[in-house]
Structure 1
Amino acid sequence: MELLQTLKLYFSQGIGILRIAYEHSPYDLESFGIVLPKAKEYAKLADALVGPADSPRLQRESIALAEQRQLSLDHLVMVNRHAKKLKKRGAAWKLRAELIAHEGSYKEVNAYGNRRVKEIQGEKPKEPGVKVSQAKNGMVTMTVTDTQRRITDFTKTLDSIETTEQPRKKALLEAFWKLIDSGGGLLQPEYRTVIAIGLDQSATIVRGEGNESIVGASDGTTMTGAEIVNAAMSGTLGDKIYAGLFHPTAGPVNLYETRFASFKQRILAMAENLVCPWPDCGVPADRCQVHHLDAHKNGGQTNPSNLSTLCAYHNGVNDDGDVPGKNFTKPKRGRMVRHRGKVKLLTPGGRLVSNMHDLSAMGAMDLI
């Protein structure tokens, strides 16, 4: 009976649990026994429901009502799933308030939420564009959205190109590349991507024996030794090749100090972290910003050991470790630090968490 009461208490304390989640990072919540995907979901929900809002009065009233009604986390997740579809200022909190106040079971409120979103938004047409996924196991997916007429005509064009006998999706891909090549092929820009290669590995590749060598690159891809040699021979690696020196515990060696990272310092930072080092992020270093581990405003220097790459989002949410009493802000997401040479996330709860992305283990600091 006591266990049943505990279970009932848990399911009735959705807002209370979110207040706890708001004070911790998902990785701290994971240490409490919550699986990481669920911890991330709770952290995002906490930001939305108990964090700063554009309708503070409505937020206070709605949160108080949710506590009074003892709504569960699952119920609040469902409410927020509907509300976050509304982008107009104040609209999301109006719908949250409406759904929190709506009487009924989870299923009934969910159905009501679906209807309300459709009523408020109307039918939302798809927007034309091209979407490219992140690389996974050497493969990337590109999705093209356009009018029915244009996509149909394009598909017919591909169907008209002679290909080998194979399943249709593979035949379309073959036809696609034939069409591209017939128009002059792809551009071959000079490389701006950083390729992280250990000293021993580079010697093997230079000798032409690196066909089995797999190295990571800052554009989120991997290359074989043979591909690197071919790129060098074709001139796509450019006429200059830079070598970076890394210390096993200090990280990139010091070059010189400036307010903004120099070209060489950026190259070193990209070679160290081929993707954003924030846990579970896969944004390639080519699209990342250079980040001061110890914030420049707090006296952090612009030298390689104090620099890292971070994607724009995580660079923005990183807690800069402000000086208490001066420009102190309460830590929430955690901050990137260098620990035993490698850049890791230090959570508000004191945990050190590494990015487990495949390319994270292929950067320069993992090659020494």
Structure 2
Amino acid sequence: MDPLMKAFKLLTSNGIGFLRLCAEYSPYDLADDGIEISLAKNYTRLASTLFSPCDSPRIQREAVALAEERQLSVNHLLMINKHAKKLKARGAAWKLRAELIAREGSLEEVEAYAKKRVMDEGGDTKKKPGVRLGRVVDGLRTISITDTQRRITDLEKTLDAAIKDDDQPRSEALLEPFWNLVEGGGTGLIKPEYRTVITIGLDDFAKVSCGKGEDVVVALSDGTTMTGAEFINAAMAGSLGDKLYVGLFHPTAGPVNLYEARFASEKLRTLAMAENLVCPWPDCNVPADRCQVHHIDAHKHGGHTKPSNLTMLCKYHNGVNDDDGPRKKRKRPSPGKPKRGRMRRHRGKVRLHTPGGKLVGNTHHVSSMGAMDLI
């Protein structure tokens, strides 16, 4: 390993030791050593939280010891504290810090879990519906609309359907359809018809069908969710169409094989959407409705058009995926080191295989509600 990388790894694996040093200095002292003042203040505040007297001394002591044992980085500890401090009830913040310090996973995976836990505990202020207008900057103003996921997604689909230039950046391409709709030139919002894939486990479907699915939440391939009651209402309104398709998934192999063809049929596309409701590339939030079908093992290298070799990727990540990267059973050497990584199926689920060999999943909340997560 490169000496600089070794030094960096030594620093990142000694977060608690570094913060103990920070506790002995003011942020301005740290700034004199080349650390920007805002970062230095973050370090000293975190050090004060970790090592100062608190309302849960035993939990604090055990959590700090575990963080040191697990060699968590400063950034990992900053992330944990950012979410835990939102809980104001006595002892709640340290209880969550201890829980997050003990949780396995990458920083991004633990953060996704932390956001959910804070929401469950009522620590995050919920957004309120409304329209907000920004001030003028360089002759331009910004409008921001917050409303239910269903209404905003229906608006998005309406604007998408009116895009005339697919080569434009999406934000620019949506502008004229938006004003056309506002000024009365359009035909109104598109009525929801769920060609969108809805994933629901067999047990939950039985509950919903019997009218007992009030607590059931299902995810859709347009990036939204709906309750069991909304699912039934959509069916009663005819929004689900006149056909019900059932996809069969194996816990480790993924979708069951259907056809062999160069281009994915509509059934294969539906299976791929049911498995990955949003683009599975880490940090991507493009819903499967706007994604392209992607061959995990490239067709040009002999990859078959079957469910277990297909996934959904947004246009951008489908383009940057390293089709020529290392693959199992490769018959010829890779022409070059992968630059961005490539999608791979691991234990049934689609993950990004990074150039360094790590498997990373998308932490989008809908990403964890696809068909493979229901079995």
Quote the Cα distance in structure 1 between the aligned partners of 2:318 and 2:148. 22
Cα-Cα RMSD = 4.2
- For residues 142-162 of structure 1, what are the alpha-carbon distances to aligned partners after superposition, in whole Å with 9 as ceiling and x for unaligned? 89979xxx99xx8xx9xxxxx
Q: SS of 2:366's equivalent? A: helix
2:259 is aligned with 1:256: yes
| Alignment-derived partner of residue 310 in structure 1 | 313
After the TM superposition, list the runs of 4 or more consecutive aligned residues in structure 1 that deviate by more than 6 angstroms. 7-11, 130-146
The aligned residue for residue 372 of structure 2 is 365
- Pick closer, same or farther for the CA change 1:351–1:213 going to 2, 3 Å: same
Counterpart contact for 1:294–1:301, Cα < 8 Å: yes
Deviation at 1:267, TM superposition (A): 0.3
Post-superposition Cα deviations, 1:222-275, rounded to whole Å, max 9, x if no partner, equal: 011111111111111111110000000000000011001110000000000111
Deviation at 1:138, TM superposition (A): 9.9
Identity of aligned residues (%): 59
Task: Classify 1:337/1:206 alpha carbon distance in 2 versus 1 (closer, same or farther; 3 Å).
Answer: same
CA gap 1:190/1:137 in 2 versus in 1, 3 angstroms: closer
CA displacement, residues 189-224 of structure 1 (integer Å, 9 cap, x when unaligned)? 432100000010111111111121111000010011
Matched position secondary structure for 1:358: coil
How many corresponding residue pairs?
228
Distance 1:252 1:137 in 2: 28
> Closer, same or farther in 2 for the Cα pair 1:346/1:223, shift >3 Å?
same
Q: Distance in 2 between matches of 1:302 and 1:338?
A: 14
Could you tell me how far apart the structure 2 residues matched to 1:245 and 1:238 are? 20
CA contact (8 A) 1:135 1:221 kept: no
TM-score, structure 2 normalization: 0.52
Q: Is 2:339 the counterpart of 1:332? A: yes
Structure 2: 5+ residue stretches without partners? 1-17, 19-31, 37-70, 77-136, 157-170
Q: Distance in 2 between matches of 1:186 and 1:233?
A: 20
In the alignment, which residue of structure 1 is the partner of 2:294?
291
Q: How does 1:1-368 map to 2 (within 5 A)?
A: 126=140, 186-322=189-325, 328-368=335-375
Secondary structure of 2:300's aligned partner: helix
Higher relative contact order structure (alpha carbons within 8 Å, sequence separation ≥ 6): 1
Name the CA distance, whole Å, in 1 between partners of 2:148 and 2:253.
30
Q: Provide, for residues 7-38 of structure 1, a one-character-per-residue CA deviation record: whole Å limited to 9, x for no partner.
A: 98999xxxxxxxxxxxxxxxxxxx995959xx
Listed as ranges, the gaps of 5+ residues in structure 1 are: 12-30, 37-122, 158-178
Structure 1 distance, partners of 2:147, 2:266, is 25
Specify the code of the residue in structure 2 equivalent to 1:338.
Answer: R
CA distance 1:184–1:286, change in 2 (3 Å) = closer
**Counterpart residue type for residue 209 of structure 1:** K
Question: What amino acid does structure 1 have at the position aligned with 2:218?
Answer: V
Q: CA deviation at 1:186?
A: 3.9
Amino acid in structure 2 at the alignment position of 1:287 = R
CA contact (8 A) 2:337 2:355 kept: no
2:160 corresponding residue in structure 1: none
Larger radius of gyration: 1
